[in-house]
Structure 1
Amino acid sequence: MDDFLERTRQALAAQPFTQLLGATLERMDGEGVALALPLRDELKQQNGFAHGGVLSYLADNALTIAGAMGLGRAVLTSEFKINYLRPAVGATLVARATVIHAGRRQAVCRCDVFARDGHGEKIVATAQGTIAKVDELPAG
Structure 2
Amino acid sequence: MPMMDGPQIEAFLAAEFPQVSGYTVERVDDAGVTLRLAVSDRHLRPGGTVSGPTMFELADLAMYAAVLSRIGPVALAVTTSANIDFMRKPPAGRDLVADCRLLKLGRVLAVGDALIRAEGHDGVVARAAMTYSIPPKP
Q: The TM-score by the shorter chain falls in which range? A: 0.7 to 0.9
Mapped to 1, the partners of 2:78 and 2:137 lie a distance apart of 10
CA deviation profile, 1:95-125 (whole Å, cap 9, x unmatched):
11111112211111111111113xx332100
How many pairs were matched up?
Answer: 133
Matched, 1:115 2:101: no
Aligned counterparts of 1:125 and 1:30: Cα–Cα separation in 2: 23
1:12-35 deviation digits (Å, cap 9, x = unpaired): 22222222xx11111111231011
Match of 1:16 among 15, 18, 28: 18
Residues 26 and 35, structure 2, Cα contact 8 Å, conserved in 1:
yes
Q: TM-score, normalised by structure 2?
A: 0.84
Superposed displacement of residue 73, structure 1 = 3.4
Contact kept in structure 2, 1:36 and 1:94, CA below 8 Å: yes
**Structure 1: stretches of 5+ with no match in the other structure:** none
Comparing both structures, which one devotes a greater share of its residues to helix? 1
> Residue 58 in 1 paired to residue 58 in 2?
yes
- Give the partner amino acid of 2:56: S
Partner residue in 2 for 1:49 = 49
Equivalent residue runs for 1:60-75 within 5 Å: 60-74=60-74, 75=77
Q: How does 1:1-140 map to 2 (within 5 A)?
A: 4-5=4-5, 6-14=7-15, 15-19=17-21, 22-74=22-74, 75-90=77-92, 91-117=94-120, 120-135=121-136
Residues 2 and 30 in structure 2, CA contact (< 8 A), matched pair in contact too:
no
SS at match of 2:63: helix
Distance 1:129 1:73 in 2: 19
C-alpha separation in 2, matches of 1:17 and 1:35: 17
Preserved CA contact (<8 Å) 2:62 2:98: yes
Partner Cα separation in structure 2 for residue 101 and residue 48 of structure 1: 36
Instruction: Structure 2: state its 5+ residue gaps.
Output: none
TM-score, length-normalised on structure 1? 0.83
